[in-house]
Amino acid sequence: MRLEDIQTIYFVGIGGIGMSAIARYFNDLGAAVHGYDRTETSLTKTLVNEGMTIHYEEDIQQIPDGVDLVVYTPAVPSTHAELQHFRANQMPVKKRAEVLGIISKSRKTIAVAGTHGKTSTSSILTWLLNDGGLECTAFLGGIAQNYQSNYVKGTSDWVVVEADEYDRSFLHLHPDLALVMSMDADHLDIYGDLDSILETGFLAFAKQLKTDGQLLVQNDFKHHFDGKAEVVGFGVEKGTYRAENIVVEDGCFVFDYVSPNVSIERLRLPLPGRHNVENTVGAIAIALQLGVSAEKLKSSLERFKGIKRRFEIAYRTDDLVIINDYAHHPTELEAAIGAAKELFPTKKITGAFQPHLYSRTRDFVDGFAKALDGLDEVLLLDIYPARELPIEGVTSQIIFDRMQSPHKEMITKETLVKALKDQELEVLLILGAGDIETKIKDIIKSIEP
Same domain? For 85 and 165 the reply is: no
Whole domain around residue 442: which residue ranges? Answer: 312-447
C-alpha 378/C-alpha 372 separation (Å) is: 7
**Whether residue 359 is found in the same domain as residue 417:** yes
Report if residue 148 sits inside a domain.
Answer: yes
Domain presence at residue 307: no
Query: Alpha helices of 179-251 — where are they, by DSSP H?
Result: 188-191, 194-196, 203-206
C-alpha–C-alpha distance, residues 13 and 71, integer Å: 8
Of the candidates 274, 302, 330, which is a domain's last residue? 302
Q: How far apart are CA 115 and CA 102, in angstroms?
A: 23
**33, β-bridge pairs:** 9
Q: Is the pLDDT confidence value at 189 over 60?
A: no
- For residues 114-142, average pLDDT: 94
Same domain? 320 vs 258? no
Q: Which helix (H) or strand (E) holds 217?
A: strand 214-218
Q: What angle do CA 41, 45, 49 make, to 5 degrees?
A: 170
Q: What pLDDT score does 28 carry?
A: 93
- Are 266 and 211 contained in the same domain? yes
Residue 101 inside a domain? The answer is no
Q: Are residues 296 and 392 in the same domain?
A: no
- Residue 102 included in any domain: no
In a domain? residue 17: yes
Residue 185 has pLDDT above 60, yes or no: no
Q: What is the pLDDT of residues 254-280, one digit of tens each?
A: 999 999 999 999 999 988 888 899 999
Shared domain for 270 and 375, answered yes or no, is no
pLDDT in tens, 387-397: 788 999 999 99
Choose between 215 and 77: higher pLDDT. Answer: 215
26 vs 335 pLDDT, higher one: 26
Q: Among residues 95, 126, 152, which one ends one of the domains? A: 95
CATH number, domain of 90, equals: 3.40.50.720
Rounded distance, CA 92 to CA 274, Å? Answer: 44
**100 located within any domain:** no
**pLDDT one-digit tens code per residue, 15-49:** 988 999 999 999 999 999 999 998 888 899 999 99
Indicate whether 336 belongs to any domain.
yes
Residue 402 lies in a domain: yes
180, 46: one domain: no
pLDDT digits (tens, 9 = 90+) for 205-255: 888 898 888 999 999 989 888 765 579 999 999 999 999 999 988 778 999
Decide: 160 and 112 in contact? Cβ < 8 Å: yes
Same domain, 51 and 147: no
**Residue 291: which region, alpha, beta or left (left: phi > 0; alpha: psi -120 to 50)?**
left
Q: What is the count of structural domains for the chain?
A: 3
* One domain, residues 209 and 129: yes
Domain boundary residue among 45, 66, 95? Answer: 95
Instruction: Annotate 379-399 with b (16+ C-beta within 10 A) or e (fewer).
Output: bbbbbbeeebeeeeebbbebb
Please, what sign has the CA dihedral across residues 314, 368, 423, 336?
negative
CATH number at 135 reads 3.40.1190.10
Do 142 and 289 lie in one domain? The reply is yes
Q: Indicate the helix (H) or strand (E) that contains 53.
A: strand 53-55
Does 145 share its domain with 278?
Answer: yes
The mean pLDDT value of the chain amounts to 91
- The pTM assigned to this predicted structure is 0.83
Say if residue 76 is in the same domain as residue 171: no
Q: Sign of the CA dihedral 96, 100, 101, 103?
A: positive
